Amino acid sequence: MKTIYSAIQPSGIMTLGNYIGAVNNWRTMQSDGDNKCIFALADLHTITVRQQPGQFNKNCWSFYALLLAVGLDPKKSIVYLQSHVKQHCELAWLLNCYTYVGEMNRMTQFKDKSAKHADNINMGLMDYPVLMAADILLYDTDLVPVGYDQLQHIEITRDIALRVNNIYGDIFKVPDGFIPKVGAKIMSLQDPTSKMSKSDTNPNAVISCLDTPDVIMKKFKRAVTDSDTTIAYDPQNKAGISNLLGILAVAQGKTIEETLKDCEGFRYGDLKVRVGESVIEMLRPFQEEYNRLIEAKDYLTACAKEGAEKAREIAENTLKRFKEALGYIL
Catalytic option among 195, 221, 254, 323: 195
Identify whether 305 is a catalytic site residue.
Answer: no
Catalytic option among 76, 185, 198, 221: 198
Residues in contact with 64: Cβ distance below 8 Å, sequence separation at least 6, in sequence order = 10, 41, 79, 81, 300, 303, 304
DSSP calls for 120-158? ---HHHHHHHHHHHHHHHTTT-SEEE--GGGHHHHHHHH
Identify whether 113 is a catalytic site residue.
Answer: yes
Report the 10 Å Cβ neighbour count for 151: 13
Identify whether 198 is a catalytic site residue.
Answer: yes
Report the 10 Å Cβ neighbour count for 20: 26
- Comparing C-alpha atoms, which of 192, 210, 198 is closest to residue 279? 210
- Give the CA radius of gyration of the chain: 21
Cβ(251)–Cβ(283) under 8 Å? no
Q: Which residues are catalytic?
A: 113, 195, 198
